[in-house]
Amino acid sequence: MSSFSLAVPIVIGVTIAVQTAIVGASSASAPPLAVSLALMLGGVLVGGLWAAGFGHWDAVGGVVLRWWWLPLGIAGWVIVAALGWSAARLGVASALTMVVAAQLVAGLVLDAFGDGSVSLRSVVGVLLVVAGVVAMQSG
């Protein structure tokens, strides 16, 4: 495994934590959905520049033709807002730990019903993260 393959998820994780903290703090003066929409508009601007600069509008159009693009876009907008809302009430670490634990449990279920790639190691790993959530909330 390359160091780049390890660095990308680490950078993404740090970025999500910082974004969550900023949305949480900004939600004191604006509704979380408004903050999330502003962030998405920034993403649309940068994404539009990327698509124009590299000529990938056809790929964007191909995704827009699929049925799931709109509900997943709505989910992304709500997820960012909900992360900020939760972080403002629970703290960034607690909110993200709960989100990650829920993602991992859902991932195990999806894997079990998908390609069946659930192993004892993956179940134990998820249980450890869930135990971490319980430990963080019981203190």
The pLDDT value given to residue 85: 95
SS3 91: coil
The pLDDT value given to residue 139: 67
Give the whole-angstrom CA distance, residue 19 versus residue 84: 8
Mean pLDDT, rounded, for 67-88: 95
On whether the CB atoms of residues 28 and 88 are closer than 8 A, the answer is: yes
**Nearby residues of 83 by Cβ (< 8 Å), 6 or more positions away:** 16, 19, 20, 23, 24, 95, 96, 99
* Cα radius of gyration rounded to whole Å, the chain: 18
Query: What token pair was written down for 108?
Result: 């195990």
The pLDDT tens digits for 78-136 are 999 999 999 999 999 999 999 999 999 999 999 999 998 899 999 999 999 999 999 98
Q: How far is CA 14 from the centre of its chain?
A: 12
The structural domains of the chain, with segments of one domain joined by +, span 1-89, 91-139
Q: pTM of the entire structure?
A: 0.84
Helix H or strand E encompassing 113: helix 92-113
Give the whole-angstrom CA distance, residue 122 versus residue 108: 8
Helix H or strand E encompassing 95: helix 92-113
The pLDDT tens digits for 87-101 are 999 999 999 999 999
Give the whole-angstrom CA distance, residue 54 versus residue 74: 26
